Amino acid sequence: MKQCFLTSHGWHIISASLLISLWLVTLAILEYALTEWRFVYINIPEYWQATVFMIILFVIGVTATHITKKHPQPSAAIFVATVVLMILSIIGYTKYLQYQDWLQTFPKIRSVSKKWSIQGDRIAIMGKNFGEPWRSGSVYVGNIEYTIVSWTPTKILIEQPVTGQYGTKPLVIYNHHNKYAELKEFEIKDPSQVLK
């Protein structure tokens, strides 16, 4: 029975296991690179997902048929190893999705309109995971809290209040999860030096 099963289905299962493992690993790497490094959000429509799945099935069929002609029966060790690899890939991808959800609670700064300000200046901060407008957070430069003019998940517009404290300090954004992102150097300039 085992001999018959491996002979008739072994290479199909091995091919499917390897392709599914490769697909999950590639998807995780691409998603992480695009969302965390390039700030690009992946939203693959269902029809594209179905298309990719059909292509994978086709490749599995062709690959397994081609291999079966040369090697009618895979070894039990190869069969078990590839199935275990697929199971580990599925578990790993599930853990990655949980990790990715956790990452989305941290704000990330992509750019700022300028890295200094004087009183009354408005600074635009671009990034991600800032939070919705009804759950906005706060922005500090040193211990000075800037006024929030507008707040979206990807853009914050802030205004510097009147202060007598000048110098270069970190700019820190706190979101509603109380997680933060930091720009190491942001300068509060003395208006008398800028406007003279």
- The fraction of the chain above a pLDDT of 70, given in percent, is 77
How many C-beta atoms lie closer than 10 Å to residue 122's C-beta?
15
Q: Has residue 77 got a pLDDT over 50?
A: yes
Q: In which band, very low, low, confident or very high, does the pLDDT at 76 lie, cut at 50, 70 and 90?
A: confident
How many C-beta atoms lie closer than 10 Å to residue 28's C-beta?
18
Q: In which band, very low, low, confident or very high, does the pLDDT at 68 lie, cut at 50, 70 and 90?
A: low
3-state helix/strand/coil string of 5-42: HHHHHHHHHHHHHHHHHHHHHHHHHHHHHHHHHCCCCC
Residue-level pLDDT at 181: 94
CB under 8 Å to 140, separation ≥6 — which residues? 146, 171, 172, 174
Q: In which band, very low, low, confident or very high, does the pLDDT at 3 lie, cut at 50, 70 and 90?
A: very low
Q: Has residue 55 got a pLDDT over 80?
A: no
Q: What does the DSSP 8-state code read for residue 161?
A: P
Q: Has residue 184 got a pLDDT over 60?
A: yes
Rounded (5°) CA angle 63-68-71? 120
> Could you report the per-residue pLDDT of 164-176, keeping only the tens digit for each?
899 999 999 999 9
Residues 186 and 144 sit within 8 Å (Cβ to Cβ):
no
Q: In which band, very low, low, confident or very high, does the pLDDT at 138 lie, cut at 50, 70 and 90?
A: very high
Domains of the chain: 2-103 (no CATH), 108-194 (2.60.40.10)
How many C-beta atoms lie closer than 10 Å to residue 17's C-beta?
20
Residue-level pLDDT at 4: 46
> How far is CA 52 from each of CA 44, 47, 63, 76, 95, rounded to the nearest angstrom?
11, 9, 16, 29, 23
Q: Has residue 70 got a pLDDT over 60?
A: yes
Query: What average pLDDT does range 122-135 have in this prediction?
Result: 92
- The fraction of the chain above a pLDDT of 90, given in percent, is 39
Residue-level pLDDT at 60: 67
Higher pLDDT, 22 or 64: 22
Q: Has residue 19 got a pLDDT over 60?
A: yes
**pTM of whole model > 0.75?**
no
Query: Where on the phi/psi map is residue 159: left (φ > 0), alpha (ψ -120 to 50), or beta?
Result: beta
Nearest-angstrom CA–CA distance, 169 and 190: 14
